[in-house]
């Protein structure tokens, strides 16, 4: 069955001490399979997989029937890397899109918050340096007390940090002013659904390009 996971940038798994994976490689776990402990883990979507990411390498995988499942993850005896691609830029763009959406909804006008997103986008396009990105991040983080960002963006912010650390500047604007977003749990769930759909769309576009190139 088809599933998704992220690998470290050197193609190693996020945990364990196995050698780096190769595209097209299939492995079978010889020991006892136990969720969160042993076996080959994957997720039903890239959004779910992002919660456990330790790197930017997004993978479409084929797995044997899961031995155990738990919401956003599952563990199988066999896993094959069907295709893989460094999705750092896609993840950063997604982080910026979500943070920008949150700032608009919360009607945040703080220039440092918006500039953090702008510089992150410029960096993604090769038009800003690492130092400029760091400076924008620092300025945004120093201004946290003044921000009125959405509660709904927090879950995506935590996920994006794991796989796209340099996008933190874009997310700093959306993290600390929960009280300003008075939406109920239903609104938060709706926002997370949007974030998931948006990430799925961006990743689908990425892999269409990758498969076409192959």
Q: What is the pLDDT of residues 107-128, one digit of tens each?
A: 888 788 888 888 889 988 899 8
pLDDT for res 171: 47
Find out whether 159 and 98 touch, Cβ atoms under 8 Å.
no
pLDDT for res 130: 86
pTM over 0.85: no
pLDDT for res 187: 66
Element at 171 (helix H, strand E):
helix 168-172
Q: Which of 196, 191, 204 is nearest to 48 (CA)?
A: 196
For the chain, which ranges sit under pLDDT 50? 145-164, 167-184
Element at 141 (helix H, strand E):
helix 130-142
pLDDT for res 9: 94
pLDDT for res 41: 97
Q: β-strands 73-76, 78-86: how paired?
A: unpaired
pLDDT for res 85: 93
Calpha distance 203→46 (Å, rounded) = 8
pLDDT for res 47: 93
Calpha distance 104→113 (Å, rounded) = 11
Calpha distance 186→177 (Å, rounded) = 19
Find out whether 57 and 87 touch, Cβ atoms under 8 Å.
yes
């Amino acid at each position: 069955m088809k599933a998704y996971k992220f690998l470290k940038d050197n193609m190693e798994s996020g945990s364990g001490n196995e050698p780096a994976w190769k595209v097209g490689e299939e492995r079978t776990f010889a020991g006892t399979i136990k969720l969160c402990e042993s076996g080959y883990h994957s997720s039903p979507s890239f959004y779910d997989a992002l919660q456990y990411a330790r790197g930017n390498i997004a993978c479409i995988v084929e797995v044997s029937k899961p031995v155990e499942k738990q919401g956003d993850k599952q563990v199988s005896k066999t896993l094959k890397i069907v295709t893989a691609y460094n999705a750092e830029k896609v993840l950063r763009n997604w982080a910026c899109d979500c943070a920008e959406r949150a700032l608009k909804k919360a009607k945040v006008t703080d220039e440092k918050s918006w500039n953090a997103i702008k510089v992150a986008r410029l960096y993604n396009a090769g038009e800003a340096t690492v130092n400029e990105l760091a400076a924008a991040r620092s300025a945004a983080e120093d201004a946290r007390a003044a921000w009125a960002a959405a509660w709904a963006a927090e879950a995506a912010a935590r996920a994006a940090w794991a796989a796209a650390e340099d996008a933190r500047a874009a997310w700093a604007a959306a993290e600390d002013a929960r009280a300003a977003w008075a939406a109920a749990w239903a609104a938060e769930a709706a926002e997370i659904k949007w974030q998931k759909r948006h990430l799925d769309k961006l990743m689908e576009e990425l892999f269409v390009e990758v498969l076409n190139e192959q």
